[in-house]
Amino acid sequence: MEGFLVWLSRRHFNLQALLAAAVAANGLVAAHAQTPAARAPSTGPAASAQAVRGVILVVGDSLSAEYGLRRSSGWVSLLQKKLDAERPGNTVVNASISGDTTSGGRSRLPALLKQHQPALVVIELGGNDALRGLALQHTRDNLTHMTRAAKAAGARVLLLGMDMPPNYGTQYAKDFRDLFPQVAKAEGTALVPFLLAGVADAPDAMKWFQADRIHPNEQAQPLMLANVWPTLANMVR
């Protein structure tokens, strides 16, 4: 993700320096693909529908693309290992790209759906839209389009929500946070409200971040998986 700032500003870090570091990081990272306790797990039709087995396609940004981490140490790689142990027969395809936006994900998704024919699509995008100051309606429309495209291809969908720091304004942060559950409800999909729950909002948040003070470190990855797993586990067999 192109500079997830979360609550780091509360720890008295210079906001402009963080933004500069994020932009620099985005320019250094190329796309890569690999196969190898949610705060409020979703309920209702999306969560209770019949579980599926097959390819799980993750479309995200640097939070899912192992930016700055050892290969196979990110939460998506850990997900594959957990599936192998508890839900064998499922294969994770990580199509995440550092710095990606919902527009990028929307443009890439049709080819990914055709190539991998996933049973489940996990969408982890939106933070970079906010960092770039894009209109929230733009993000909402793209997430909605991606969700509908995945469902039309026969896949179930899991949205991973994100928060923004208070620097962006209380109302903006609230509206951004709310758009994920709004899309999930409107489209009948499952939702993890905040991928970085217990990481970015922890009292000792800095221990969970890399030296750039932007990207979660290797120790944070199991916590991120723990946020996703309860909901995802109900969606696969």
Active site residues per annotation: 62, 212, 215
Nearest Cα to Cα of residue 80 among 63, 65, 93, 62: 93
**Run of H or E residues at 57:** strand 55-60
Nearest Cα to Cα of residue 108 among 125, 89, 130: 125
Q: What region does 209 belong to: left with phi over 0, alpha with psi -120 to 50, or beta?
A: beta
Nearest Cα to Cα of residue 47 among 234, 236, 175, 237: 234
Distance, CA of 50 to CA of 88 (rounded, Å): 17
Distance, CA of 122 to CA of 159 (rounded, Å): 6
